[in-house]
Chain A
């Protein structure tokens, strides 16, 4: 079954501390993986995707096919990083109208 698991509902860190938001997936093919972020009172927006291999707002994520993981990392958390983060999988990448499978989300709270 296709599934995205985010084991932590809430992650609380202090400003300047490293952050790792965990994401594991279950999918038999080659997945396309994403991290979406939802800041307070804002719409869901794409943070990054694994094929881009880029760093956005200091965040990076590496796809580990052996561990079926796509953890989101940032070396030094900022207060403005506080948000809900969703890991998502596209099970049929390359096909039109492919809906995403979302994890349940992790709330990141960064305090000073």
Chain B
């Protein structure tokens, strides 16, 4: 099992460019999440998907959109990148309580720089 995978690992964008961060999990988890990690700020939730077909905003959703493509994949899109979106982005997945461990499993992260 690869667990949670993310692509790309690194990306540099110019202000105003768009891009999609990809996330996939092979653990058959129902729930998936996108977080951003900034120095001194910890991890903050951007969007999450409790189950296939549903998405909800987290703490810092502005400037982002998400798509739960299927049970395995949950992508994060930046339509018009801004320097404030320079961060490390983590995808995570989990199983709802009662259906196995609800521990969240994290991907390796995508380091994004917006110039």
Name A residues whose Cβ lies closer than 8 Å to a Cβ of B.
4, 6, 9, 42-46, 49, 86, 90, 93-105
Contact = CB atoms under 8 A, between A and B. Distances in A.
Nearest to A104: B42
Interface of B: 4, 30-31, 33, 35, 40-45, 48-51, 54, 56, 58, 90, 92, 96-98, 102-109
B109 A103 contact: no
Given A43-B109, A97-B54, 10 more contacts: A42-B108, A43-B108, A44-B106, A96-B31, A96-B97, A97-B50, A97-B96, A99-B48, A102-B44, A105-B42
B97 A94 contact: yes
Given A43-B108, A44-B90, A99 B45 contact: yes
Contact of A97 (B48, B98, B103): B48
Which residue, of A43, A49, A90, A95, has the highest number of chain B Cβ atoms within 10 A? A43
A94 B96 CA distance: 7
Given A43-B107, A44-B106, A49-B103, A97 B56 contact: yes
Contacts, number: 62
6 contacts: A43-B107, A44-B90, A93-B97, A99-B58, A100-B104, A103-B42
Nearest to A49: B103
A9 B41 CA distance: 10
A98 B32 CA distance: 10
A102 B97 contact: no
Contacts of B90: 43-44
B69 to A, nearest CB: 17
A67 to B, nearest CB: 21
Top-10 shortest CB links A-B: A97-B50, A96-B96, A104-B42, A44-B106, A97-B31, A102-B43, A102-B42, A99-B45, A96-B50, A43-B108
